[in-house]
Structure 1
């Protein structure tokens, strides 16, 4: 795909040239850079496109949608993410992140968590000032920290909760919670103390089921009108197991997704000149052929968004993939996928990559005339990145290929 920078948003010019995280907030449908001091601070009324550079050649990009963001702003974030991918070389895997239902991969970039604040630019809200402290109740489930209604009915015996008040932070440990969960929540408590209280408030641990007559326990239950037995936790839609969903392949033409009639999913069904949507229920993949235009890729992304809106699946994940850079998870959805696939790399593309590597001080001799890159299957790596030997804190992650490997390709 040949793309001119004139086709891309000016905000993305120079993106990815320096190591580190880059984040843009969507304001009036345009990406506006977020200062480094505000990285990790998200607002519920906003949408963001995030990126990070730590090497060369391969990326992950995430666009995050707050629960109060408008549909138009969310659509703008999706489109701008496609443009950002083009600006970075067109090889990225792109993830749609919904507030409260973020992927483990995305959450692993922000330590120990993200806690979105009320407000936003796109919605016309005013960002909440730090001095306007309101009592907040959070439930902690692994890396997910979710703001829940400040009410006794939100509490249960299975989870761990954080009650954030002006002068004290309470950690309520459900009687059925594990030691590991409690230790993780303590990190979040410390983060809230440092971020929202300048490290100057008290911290208290409240044990569920232990009716000790101490001041902290009495103070905690006082915020809820006094102690009373907690109700049993009711199963929500999030707790219900996801049933099997037969994968459906759709071809996207002129913004319309049409089913592909087939008895089995194979690699041969994917045409390099087209874009496709693979609907797997909770996961919706957008596969973009290398010969497709920027507009066609934007159109395919819009078709995927429309698909989940029309089927009332707002929490489904959308993962966008470029031909030749498919993930192991995507390949696993097919009954047959070749062990080795040739990824066509144009001479123009090689020269651009070579120039990028030279700026980073790497030896690129022989790269410009290298043979097509062969992408071998890789062992499965989960969303947390725990199986990787090296782990980078980023929102777009690039894998570094040294000269010795490039010369063999």
Structure 2
């Protein structure tokens, strides 16, 4: 089932995330949500998907797989070294074609989960293809699949599969390296690029195609994932192919179309992608304060001048690094300031060239390693 081609969640009531409306979710109500029962009691990852306004557990075997037409909630429970205290990061993830109802529910339920866990979690907004480094550390690979909760793709018999072309590419280096796998909208030869690796899933036939200039690490990681993927379908025919060696009449090509009429290969390209300044942006710190009687959003410092002493427990601060955006609420900030941190950060990012940057919301004293590294102790 094809969902909305474009999402404009920045222009919807998602900007109210963190407002009084969501904050009024009482813990008694949170405790009536069956999905939260027993969560956050031990170290590990838990994932839920939003299906028709309800929170449903996502199968552990599918962790790392996300439908681009859905929204998800991810809870990571962890302990610091030499401590038995449980800490939390909770993320809501927005698929590129997720509907307003779905990501609005995910945002609302994220606040509810935060309430259930006594307001201890650091909350994060994640947008497909723009995930934070922290989010990517949870998975060895991220797979984006077309469709959503209503597609029922996993219930189709292998011999009835519509062919799928999956594009593999590495992001990050070292421990931050993550294999991303995107399902192409069309199984077209024009999608194949020599510098990447692709999987062709034909149901009963599965292929890994390696571009002639693809990197060794990319091939290695993709091969590991291909082996894991094909192990789940032992009766399927599997084959690894090299761009320079495959013949024009190989059965691999039978799955492709050269019909590029109504080509939608650009559907997954963000209109702002070419103008993205996230890697060159100079960090800036803003203060959100109503000390004058009205909410004022003012710049405090930029670049290397940003330091811990800029923060004040009486106010809320928004730190934009281009790659990430942090909303820090001082312990003595009042309700109006705290409730408007996320809306102001969302509205501010809409006017930048990195509007989909991850947003993390934390309270003074919360455990957030990256923010601490950026702002100092």
| TM-score (normalised: structure 1) | 0.65
Name structure 2 gaps, 5 residues minimum.
1-22, 80-84, 171-178, 259-268
2:250 is paired with a residue of what secondary structure? helix
Shift of 1:246: 2.3
Partner residue of 1:171? 208
Give me the whole-angstrom Cα distance separating, in 1, the residues matched to 2:181 and 2:295. Answer: 37
316, 331, 337: which is aligned to 2:357?
316
Displacement after TM superposition at 1:38 (Å): 5.6
Rg larger in structure: 1
Task: Name the CA distance, whole Å, in 2 between partners of 1:174 and 1:180.
Answer: 13
Counterpart for residue 82 of structure 2: none
Whole-Å Cα distance in 1 between the matches of residues 73 and 205 of structure 2? 34
Find out whether 1:84 has 2:113 as its counterpart.
Answer: yes
For residue 307 of structure 1, what is the aligned residue in structure 2? Answer: 348
RMSD: 3.6
- 1:190 aligns to what? 227
Q: Deviations over 1:57-87 (max 9, x none)?
A: 3222222111111245324423433442343
Aligned residues: 318
What is the Cα deviation at residue 159 of structure 1? 0.9
Counterpart of 2:41 in structure 1 is 17
Q: 1:162 to 1:280 in 2, by over 3 A?
A: same
Query: How far apart, CA to CA, are the structure 1 residues paired with 2:282 and 2:276?
Result: 18
Matched residue, 1:144: 180
Does the 8 Å contact 1:161/1:171 carry over to 2? yes
Deviates more, 1:236-245 or 1:311-320: 236-245
Segments of structure 1 that go 5 or more residues without pairing to the other structure are 227-234, 339-409
| Counterpart in the other structure of 1:53 | 77
Taking the aligned partners of 1:302 and 1:272, their CA distance within structure 2 comes to 20
Conserved? CA contact 1:29–1:76, under 8 Å: yes
The residue aligned with 1:218 is 250
CA contact (8 A) 1:290 1:322 kept: yes
Give the drift of 1:201. 0.9
- Cα distance change of structure 1 residues 13 and 272 upon mapping to structure 2, 3 Å threshold: farther
Is the contact made by 1:57 and 1:91 (CA closer than 8 Å) also made in structure 2? no
Q: Do the aligned partners of residues 294 and 167 (structure 1) sit closer, same or farther apart at CA in structure 2, a change above 3 Å counting? A: farther
Which is richer in strand?
Answer: 2
Q: How much has 1:147 moved relative to structure 2?
A: 1.6
Q: TM-score, normalised by structure 2?
A: 0.70
Cα 1:290/1:73, change in 2 over 3 Å: farther
2:264 aligns with none
**Residues 76 and 273 (structure 1 numbering): CA distance in 2 closer, same or farther, change over 3 Å?**
farther
CA offset at residue 290 of structure 1? 3.0
How much has 1:314 moved relative to structure 2? 4.3
- Report the Cα offset of residue 171 of structure 1: 1.1
**Is contact 2:77–2:89 with CA below 8 Å preserved after alignment?**
no
Relative contact order: is structure 1 or structure 2 higher (C-alpha 8 Å, sep ≥ 6)?
1
